[in-house]
């Protein structure tokens, strides 16, 4: 037996994990341990800080429900979701295809299927806008029968999960493109919003003196047989937080503005936003999304403490 030291403990841990039969799990855990130990050495992590970090992660887990994923939110505000998304794109998105954005923690499966031209807003309290465009491949050919999942906040900056029973859906819908690859729907212009600030991630954002806001946007997930699933969003360029998105999802290619003089809009008399989409060809079976519906995600001087003490620390 060899005693562990500050210099040798990392290699000792990795040597013990060498029996891991899953090669990818072994690769990931080896790298995680090396970087985690290097982080602790770099910042000279104290027992109190170590315990507070465990308390924070415990609180993040306890905040998760079938309708709220605090860990995805934490990943979002640390930029990890965006990084994973960018790396995933680099392997599967064609250069001319529409840029992706974050799925976010408010996506829900099984949104209602609606006819083209329908409104996703059940009880709008302001004038509607029309969102329209085409779905095409990288050669410019229209894609008929493509499905578009659309979801957003209301005109007050709230998702349906934040203001009503989780069993009810609002400002969500699924549409299917016509024979020419066209789609159009009615909705309200969303309002930029603060991420949920009533949990541990909100505590972190306040401690960092960050504003916690996302600019106004509409999420879209687009799919068709033979094409890579696209998760993206369109962002309203006039939002005051367009340059400082708390979860780093904005890119210049996804900026839009509503127009009042668009002769091509399918519903005259309504302000319109045009958002054309280009899908990449499918190269493998990998999905385009990075994230999931929360309902599907399962899962003092001493170094150590009673678990009840850890739970109470925030």
Q: Percent of the chain at pLDDT above 70?
A: 89
Residue 307 pLDDT greater than 60, yes or no: no
Euclidean distance between CA atoms 91 and 67, whole angstroms: 30
Dihedral sign from CA coordinates of 177, 179, 181, 185: negative
Question: Under a CB-based contact definition with an 8 Å cutoff, are residues 202 and 314 in contact?
Answer: no
6-38 pLDDT, tens digit per residue, is: 999 999 999 999 999 999 999 999 999 999 999
Dihedral sign from CA coordinates of 5, 8, 13, 19: negative
Biggest distance spanned by C-alpha atoms of the chain: 80
DSSP characters for 205-248? Answer: HHHTT---EE--EEEEEEE-TTB--EEEEEEETT-TTTT--TT-
Question: Under a CB-based contact definition with an 8 Å cutoff, are residues 276 and 240 in contact?
Answer: no
Check residue 26 and give its pLDDT. Answer: 97
Euclidean distance between CA atoms 189 and 41, whole angstroms: 48
What are the residue ranges spanned by the domains of the chain?
80-287
190-209 pLDDT, tens digit per residue, is: 999 999 999 999 999 999 99
Work out the pLDDT band at 158, boundaries 50, 70, 90.
Answer: confident
The stretch 225-234 carries a mean pLDDT of: 95
What are the angstrom distances between the C-alpha of 100 and each of 95, 131, 174? 12, 18, 18
Quick one: DSSP state of residue 269? Answer: T
Check residue 152 and give its pLDDT. Answer: 94
Q: Please give the mean pLDDT across all residues of the chain.
A: 90
Euclidean distance between CA atoms 290 and 305, whole angstroms: 35
What are the angstrom distances between the C-alpha of 213 and each of 151, 244, 249, 311? 18, 8, 12, 28
pTM as predicted = 0.85
165-186 pLDDT, tens digit per residue, is: 767 788 999 999 999 999 999 9
Check residue 303 and give its pLDDT. Answer: 43
* Fold observed for domain 80-287: Protocatechuate 3,4-Dioxygenase, subunit A (2.60.130)
Give start and end residues of each alpha helix (H) in 78-224: 80-92, 160-163, 200-207
The H-or-E segment that residue 147 falls in is strand 147-152
Residue 235's CB is within 10 A of a number of other CB atoms, namely 24
Work out the pLDDT band at 314, boundaries 50, 70, 90.
Answer: very low
32-81 pLDDT, tens digit per residue, is: 999 999 999 999 999 999 999 999 999 999 999 888 899 999 999 999 99
112-121 pLDDT, tens digit per residue, is: 999 999 999 9
């Amino acid at each position: 037996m060899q005693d562990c030291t500050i210099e040798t403990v990392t290699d000792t841990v990795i040597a013990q994990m060498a029996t891991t039969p899953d090669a990818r799990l072994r690769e990931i855990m080896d790298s995680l341990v090396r970087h985690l130990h290097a982080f602790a050495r770099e910042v000279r992590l104290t027992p109190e800080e170590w315990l507070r970090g465990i308390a924070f992660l415990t609180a993040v887990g306890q905040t998760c429900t079938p309708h709220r994923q605090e860990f995805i939110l934490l990943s979002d505000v640390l930029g990890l979701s965006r990084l994973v998304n960018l790396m995933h794109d680099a392997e599967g998105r064609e250069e001319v295809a529409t840029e992706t954005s974050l799925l976010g923690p408010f996506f829900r499966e099984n949104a209602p299927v609606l006819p083209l031209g329908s409104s996703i807003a059940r009880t709008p309290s302001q004038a509607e806008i029309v969102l329209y465009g085409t779905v095409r491949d990288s050669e410019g050919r229209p894609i008929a029968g493509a499905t578009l999942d659309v979801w957003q906040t209301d005109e007050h900056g709230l998702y349906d999960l934040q203001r009503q029973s989780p069993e009810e859906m609002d400002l969500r819908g699924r549409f299917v493109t016509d024979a020419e690859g066209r789609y159009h729907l009615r909705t309200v212009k969303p309002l930029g919003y603060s991420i949920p600030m009533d949990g541990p991630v909100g505590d972190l954002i306040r401690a960092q003196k960050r504003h916690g806001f996302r600019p106004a946007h509409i999420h879209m997930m687009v799919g068709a047989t033979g094409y890579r699933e696209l998760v993206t969003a369109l962002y309203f360029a006039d939002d005051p937080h367009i340059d400082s998105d708390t979860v780093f999802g904005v890119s210049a290619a996804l900026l839009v503005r509503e127009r009042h003089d668009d002769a091509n809009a399918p519903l005259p008399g309504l302000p319109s936003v045009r958002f054309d989409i280009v899908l990449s060809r499918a190269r493998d079976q990998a999905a385009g999304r990075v994230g999931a519906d929360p309902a599907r995600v399962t899962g003092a001087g001493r170094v150590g403490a009673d678990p009840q003490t850890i739970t109470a620390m925030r």
